[in-house]
């Protein structure tokens, strides 16, 4: 992109190699913005790894290089655009939202359909109708770009209230077998979408026979299986292959129930809770399975995951930037001689100057001439600013107030600096004094702090701190310093932030209120929203973010992975951190209600954005929710160390949370002592007499005095997941099942049967006779849309039941009571609930409609009821369930880890060690290293099949 007023045909690209200067074939396309162009050129020959080649972009009319052997072009015919790229032909159809309807590679052709959509219980699609706009924005010979813009519509043509829309850009390069697909999805307000589906390509019409991913692959046999990869996924036959090369959750569904047309290949899905969402993936078009044998797909994944980088140099601007940077560095060294308020004032001046220099550095390498110039000018201004302006309260080393018009909160550990109140007071600088390190890089006008979304009769609206002025008051006392921000334009929003004495972490709360006379209510409140978080290690190479869902693990920084990373709470723990090179940046929320929230990391340019979005309690109901208040402190800031140190910060609060109130497990009277000593969990069946022997054989194999048999299939079904929740009488008969359990117990084996925590088979008599649908089925939307699963139970229709409904709570308590009381089971395992997260719109259930702690409380109370029922029959009985969720620690005795093979950051146990247990393992994986590692991490082994 160039901010240049000339004509495209005056641009030439010349390669310098040694003393030779050689014109290079190029293409110039107009881009968005006045005087902005996209320039593409073909690098002659090959570009080896870590090789640098230099090209000069010259504004003159050098000789034009002729069309090369491999050119790309695009032809328009009515509502069809045809891209011809060597032996690859792609047809875009306006009637299906501008998507690709047909691909040809050499002689092989495949018909494609698309299912890209947003979903919140009801699905709204892009490809079901004509694109509003489908146009060629670059026409070759090197690069063809097609843009399609559409709205999402329901099956009857209806538009959801937030009017979501998408612009898809398909970029093709001459001679390359890939199409880069970028989407920008926007909506008028931040409606909460369960899922946004990106590149969901129906491939059933293309005659594919196989699926391959970097994980599992196999033949396409229409059996309803999903094959998931982590890096790439492909479908293919002998002549044609289509692959997603840089997907977030690549995979393919092989078509269900003998229906090939259901088959699809996808890039990924994600929940969407913001105003805008960006996606990117690259589709590879190949000549059949050969492309896998030749490693073409794998290689393109690697190339696209770490593409060659282009740096732009403006020599005159670079000289001016060097000069101003030298002055910044000289002045920075002089800071050491200052202290107290003098230091604070000089620090703010330096922060602004550094910000300008950093912005200029970023813009110059990105090739933005005008923006570089204005950033250099703002740096020069900051260096010349009169630095006497400060209004600060001070107690000890704690300082709070306004410096050069910027809200300031600091002590001898850290300084937090905000944009001027007239610019909305976004968080623009976090400075670690001990390490002399700035953690943020964001210009004050775009700095953020919070964002809120309301729904109105007409639809909704979103607003944020940075578009509206606020007032700031401040004080300090012996405990530390405090800033109070107040906004009033759309709603009364107060944010209180405190920095304690000797603390580097900031603690804050938000409270937002809408006037009674306004017809709007809150849907979600995002706080904090922090933009411009800088990498901790050079180029993020050693940076990880902590995924505190489930067992806990480290993931590469989104700046490396290009993936948005969301941690959904519950069941995830309510903290995360960026770590790298011994440094950390912590975010957490100390919410003892375990309210619904999404902790979200995303790459934006060369820095990271982070936010915690809270869906407010009752937002889906008829009565507008006019107040939102932080249920606990939001905590953020720098720390030293790695994942373990981050876990220790959270643990300090977590063991005071309500779910830890019963204390450590070895001190708890209600914690079964036998479970503490159990060395192993099997997966058993107990449907025939011989299954009893199987369990005893497992116990003998490991030579263990006791173990826990986790038993399935003890009930009558055609399939495993049929007839729920009618488990009785068991297959062995009432007396037979009781005898089986007694026999195992007499040999030291404890028995914990499986129960599905969420599903009721709609074909059962009980579903009709107990009026289960009305009294307990989850409504996915306010119009009574049920959540029915047919793929799970071998075709039977299973209704998802609401944990907040009395009928379902009572049903699961009764089953628990029967299993523990009548049959003598040692406890019950609940599938689904702990690991899931949902909303329910059914007003008959008597719970708040959506958001907040609705789900956490409903699930927790359901378990509490079942646990009480079990304990009434046997005080030594236990309760467990699928997945890991901190909010259930007091009502679960242990958690199933779900297929974890290990982790470099076992965060859940680092936080809750001593307060709960985890068990599990990997099916068929019993090698000593695996078992030993699992034991070392503090888990009970088991689940090996
Ligand atoms: Zn409900």
DSSP, residue by residue, 435-488: TTEE-B---GGG----EEEEEETTEEEEEEGGGS--EEEEEEETTEEEEEEEE-
How many Å lie between the centroid of ligand 1 and the Cα of residue 814? 19
Average pLDDT over residues 419-428: 96
> 796 or 3: which carries more pLDDT confidence?
796
Q: State the distance from the centre of ligand 1 to the C-alpha of 630, rounded, in angstroms.
A: 24
Reading the block at residue 709, the tokens are: 């048999």
Q: Is the pLDDT of residue 389 over 90?
A: no
Confidence of residue 248 (pLDDT cuts 50, 70, 90): confident
Q: With 0-12 CB in 10 A as exposed, 13-18 as middle and 19+ as buried, what is 203?
A: buried
Question: How many angstroms separate the alpha carbon of residue 808 from the centre of ligand 1?
Answer: 10
pLDDT score, position 719: 62
For 474, residues 6+ apart whose C-beta sits below 8 A from its C-beta are 393, 400, 401, 402, 407, 409, 481, 482, 483, 484
Which pLDDT score is estimated for 2? 59
Distance 817 CA to ligand 1 centre (A): 23
Q: Which residue has the tokens 């390509």?
A: 201
**Nearest-angstrom CA–CA distance, 816 and 834:** 16
Distance in Å, CA 665 to ligand 1 centroid = 33
pLDDT at 393 over 60: yes
- Give pLDDT, residue 381: 84
Mean pLDDT of 717-731: 79
- The rounded Å distance from CA 783 to ligand 1 centre is 13
Spatial contact of 208 and 123, defined as CB atoms under 8 Å apart: no
SS3 864: helix
What SS3 class is residue 863?
helix
Whole-number average pLDDT of the chain: 91
> What digits encode the pLDDT tens for the residues 534-557?
999 999 999 999 999 999 999 999
* Residue 601: strand pairing partners: 565, 610
| 906: nearest Cα among 924, 884, 882 | 884
Q: How far, in Å, is the centroid of ligand 1 from the Cα of 526?
A: 25
CA of 771 to the centre of ligand 1 (A): 14
User: Cα–Cα distance between 489 and 508 in angstroms, integer?
Assistant: 21
Phi and psi at residue 39, to the nearest 5°? -110, 125
Q: If pLDDT is split at 50, 70 and 90, which confidence band does 30 have?
A: confident
Within its chain, how far is the Cα of 114 from the centroid? 23
Place of tokens 């060369």: 606
pLDDT band at 68 (very low <50, low <70, confident <90, very high): low
Q: How far is the CA of 659 from the centre of ligand 1 (A)?
A: 23
**More reliable by pLDDT, 543 or 466:** 543
Using CA atoms, how far apart are residues 383 and 405, in angstroms rounded to an integer? Answer: 15
Whether the CB-CB separation of 653 and 911 falls below 8 Å is answered with no
Q: Residue 690 class from Cβ within 10 Å (0-12 exposed, 13-18 middle, 19+ buried)?
A: exposed
Q: How far is the CA of 617 from the centre of ligand 1 (A)?
A: 14
Residue 945 Cα distances to 136, 217, 681, 904, angstroms:
55, 22, 10, 25
CB 160 within 8 A of CB 196: no
Q: Is the pLDDT of residue 767 over 70?
A: yes
C-alpha pair distances (Å), 701 with each of 693, 705, 707 = 12, 11, 12
In angstroms, what is the span from residue 764 Cα to ligand 1's centroid?
21
b (16+ CB within 10 A) / e for 12-45:
bbbbeeeeeeeebbbbbbeeeeeeebbbbbbeee
User: What is d(CA 834, CA 862) in angstroms, rounded to the nearest whole number?
Assistant: 11
Residues 6+ apart with CB under 8 A from 302: none
What local confidence, expressed as pLDDT, does residue 387 receive? 59
d(CA 633, ligand 1 centre) in Å: 29
pLDDT of 6 reads 66
CA of 287 to the centre of ligand 1 (A): 51
Stronger pLDDT, 192 or 880, i.e. the higher one: 880
Burial of 322 (0-12, 13-18, 19+ CB in 10 A): exposed
What's the gap in Å between 770 CA and the centre of ligand 1?
Answer: 16
Centroid of ligand 1 to alpha carbon of 195 (angstroms): 20
Distance from residue 872's CA to the centre of ligand 1 (Å): 27
> What pLDDT, on a 0 to 100 scale, did the predictor assign at position 459?
82
Query: How many A from CA of 804 to the centre of ligand 1?
Result: 5
| 780 CA → ligand 1 middle, Å | 9
pLDDT (average), residues 763-785 = 92
Task: Tell me the CA–centroid distance for residue 832 and ligand 1, in Å.
Answer: 16
Give the dihedral of Cα atoms 62, 66, 72, 77; nearest 10 deg.
90
Domains (range + CATH), the chain = 8-59 (no CATH), 75-305 (2.70.98.10), 315-388 (no CATH), 395-654 (2.70.98.10), 667-758+800-942 (3.20.20.80)
**First vs last Cα of the chain: how many Å apart?**
57
Distance 779 CA to ligand 1 centre (A): 7
CA of 841 to the centre of ligand 1 (A): 6
Query: Is the pLDDT reported for residue 574 higher than 90?
Result: yes
Q: Taking Cα atoms as reference points, which of 931, 916, 836 lies closest to residue 879?
A: 916
Rounded to the nearest whole angstrom, what is the distance from the C-alpha of residue 597 to the centroid of ligand 1? 19
**725 Cα: distance to centroid of ligand 1 (angstroms):** 18
Residue 8 phi/psi, 5° resolution? -55, -35
| Residue in 606, 612, 599, 611 with CA at minimum distance from that of residue 559 | 606
pLDDT, residue 841, reads: 95
For 312-371, how does the pLDDT look when each residue is reduced to its tens digit (9 = 90+)?
Answer: 788 888 999 999 999 989 888 888 888 899 899 989 999 999 989 988 988 888 777 888
Percentage with pLDDT > 70 across the chain: 96
Percent of the chain residues past pLDDT 90, beyond the cut: 69
Rg (CA), the chain: 30
> How far away, in angstroms, is 157 Cα from ligand 1 center?
29
Average of per-residue pLDDT across 656-667: 96
288: left (phi over 0), alpha (psi -120 to 50) or beta: left
* Per-residue pLDDT at 62 exceeds 60: no
Residue 856 alpha carbon to ligand 1 centre in Å: 13
* Distance between Cα 901 and ligand 1 center (Å): 35
């Amino acid at each position: 992109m160039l901010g240049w007023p000339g004509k495209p045909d005056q641009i030439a690209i010349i390669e310098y190699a040694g003393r030779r200067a050689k014109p290079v074939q190029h293409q110039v396309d107009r881009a968005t913005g006045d005087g902005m162009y996209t320039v593409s050129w073909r690098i002659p020959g090959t570009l080896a790894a870590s090789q640098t080649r230099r090209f000069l972009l010259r504004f003159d009319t050098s000789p034009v290089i002729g069309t090369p052997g491999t050119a790309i072009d695009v032809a328009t015919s009515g509502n069809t655009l045809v891209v011809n790229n060597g032996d690859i032909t792609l047809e875009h159809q306006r009637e299906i939202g501008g998507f690709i309807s047909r691909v040809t590679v050499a002689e092989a052709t495949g018909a494609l359909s698309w299912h890209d959509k947003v979903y919140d219980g009801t699905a709204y699609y892009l490809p079901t109708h004509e694109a509003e706009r489908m146009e060629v924005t670059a026409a070759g010979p090197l690069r063809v770009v097609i843009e399609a813009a559409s709205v999402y519509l329901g099956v009857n043509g209806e538009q959801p209230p937030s009017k979501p829309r998408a612009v898809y850009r398909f970029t093709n390069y001459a001679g390359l077998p890939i199409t880069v697909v970028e989407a920008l999805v926007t909506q008028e307000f931040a409606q909460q979408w369960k899922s946004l589906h990106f590149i969901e390509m129906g491939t059933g019409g293309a005659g594919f026979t196989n699926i391959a991913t970097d994980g599992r692959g196999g033949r396409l046999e229409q059996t309803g299986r999903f094959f998931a990869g982590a890096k790439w996924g492909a479908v293919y036959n002998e002549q044609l292959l289509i692959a997603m090369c840089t997907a977030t959750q690549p995979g393919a569904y092989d078509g269900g129930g003998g229906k090939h047309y259901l088959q699809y290949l996808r890039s990924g899905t994600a929940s969407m809770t913001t105003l805008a969402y960006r996606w990117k993936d690259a589709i590879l078009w190949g000549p059949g399975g050969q492309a896998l044998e030749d490693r073409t797909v794998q290689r393109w994944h690697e190339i696209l995951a770490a593409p060659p980088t282009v740096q732009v140099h403006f020599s005159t601007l670079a000289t001016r930037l060097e000069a101003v940077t030298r002055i910044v560095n000289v002045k920075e060294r002089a800071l050491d001689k200052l202290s107290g308020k003098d230091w604070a004032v000089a620090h703010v001046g330096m922060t602004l100057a550094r910000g300008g220099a950093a912005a200029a550095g970023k813009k110059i390498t990105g090739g933005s001439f005008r923006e570089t110039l204005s950033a250099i000018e703002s740096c020069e201004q900051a260096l010349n600013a009169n630095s006497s302006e400060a209004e600060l309260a001070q107690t000890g080393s704690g300082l709070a107030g306004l410096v050069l018009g910027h809200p300031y909160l600091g002590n001898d550990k850290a300084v937090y600096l905000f944009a001027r109140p007239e610019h909305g007071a976004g968080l623009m600088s976090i400075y670690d004094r001990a390490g002399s390190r700035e953690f943020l890089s964001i210009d004050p006008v775009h700095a953020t702090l919070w964002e809120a979304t309301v729904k109105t009769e007409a639809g909704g609206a979103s607003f944020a701190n940075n578009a509206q002025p606020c007032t700031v008051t401040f004080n300090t006392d012996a405990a530390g310093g405090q800033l109070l921000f107040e906004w009033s334009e759309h709603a009364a929003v107060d944010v209180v932030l405190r920095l304690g004495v000797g603390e580097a972490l900031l603690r804050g709360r938000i409270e937002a209120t809408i006037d009674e006379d306004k017809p709007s209510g809150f849907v979600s409140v995002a706080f904090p929203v922090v933009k411009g978080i800088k990498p901790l290690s050079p180029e993020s190479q050693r940076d990880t973010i902590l995924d505190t869902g489930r067992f806990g693990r480290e993931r590469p920084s989104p700046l490396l992975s290009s993936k948005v990373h969301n941690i959904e709470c519950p069941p995830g723990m309510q903290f995360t951190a960026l770590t790298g090179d011994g440094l950390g940046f912590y975010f957490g929320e100390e919410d003892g209600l375990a309210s619904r929230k999404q902790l979200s990391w995303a790459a934006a340019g060369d820095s990271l954005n982070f936010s915690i979005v809270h869906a407010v309690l009752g937002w889906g109901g008829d009565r507008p929710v006019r107040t939102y208040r932080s249920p606990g402190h939001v905590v953020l800031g720098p720390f030293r160390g790695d994942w373990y140190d981050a876990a220790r910060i959270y643990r300090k609060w977590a063991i005071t949370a309500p779910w830890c109130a019963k204390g450590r497990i070895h001190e708890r009277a209600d914690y079964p002592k036998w479970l503490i000593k159990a060395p192993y969990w099997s997966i058993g069946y107990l449907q025939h007499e011989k299954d009893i022997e199987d369990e005893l054989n497992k116990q003998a194999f490991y030579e263990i005095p006791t173990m826990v048999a986790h038993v399935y299939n003890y009930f009558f079904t055609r399939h495993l997941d049929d007839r729920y929740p009618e488990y009785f009488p068991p297959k062995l008969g009432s007396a037979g099942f009781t005898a089986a359990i007694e026999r195992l117990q007499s040999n030291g084996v404890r028995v914990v049967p499986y129960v599905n925590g969420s599903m009721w088979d709609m074909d059962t008599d009980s579903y009709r006779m107990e009026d289960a649908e009305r009294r307990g089925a989850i409504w996915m939307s306010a119009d009574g849309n049920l959540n029915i699963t047919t793929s799970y139970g071998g075709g039977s229709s299973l209704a998802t039941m609401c944990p907040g409904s009395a009928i379902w709570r009572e049903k699961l308590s009764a089953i628990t009571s029967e299993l523990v009381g009548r049959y003598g089971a040692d406890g019950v395992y609940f599938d689904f609930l702990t690991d899931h997260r949902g909303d329910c719109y059914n007003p008959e259930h008597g719970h708040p409609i959506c958001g907040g702690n609705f789900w956490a409380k409903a699930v927790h109370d359901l378990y509490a009821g079942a646990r009480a029922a079990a304990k009434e029959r046997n005080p030594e009985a236990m309760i467990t369930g699928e997945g890991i969720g901190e909010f259930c620690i007091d009502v679960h005795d242990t958690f199933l880890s779900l297929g974890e093979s290990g982790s470099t950051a076992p965060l859940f146990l680092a936080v809750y060690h001593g307060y709960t247990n985890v068990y599990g393992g990997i099916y068929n994986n019993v090698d000593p290293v695996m078992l030993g590692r699992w034991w070392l991490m503090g888990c009970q082994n088991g689940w090996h099949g």
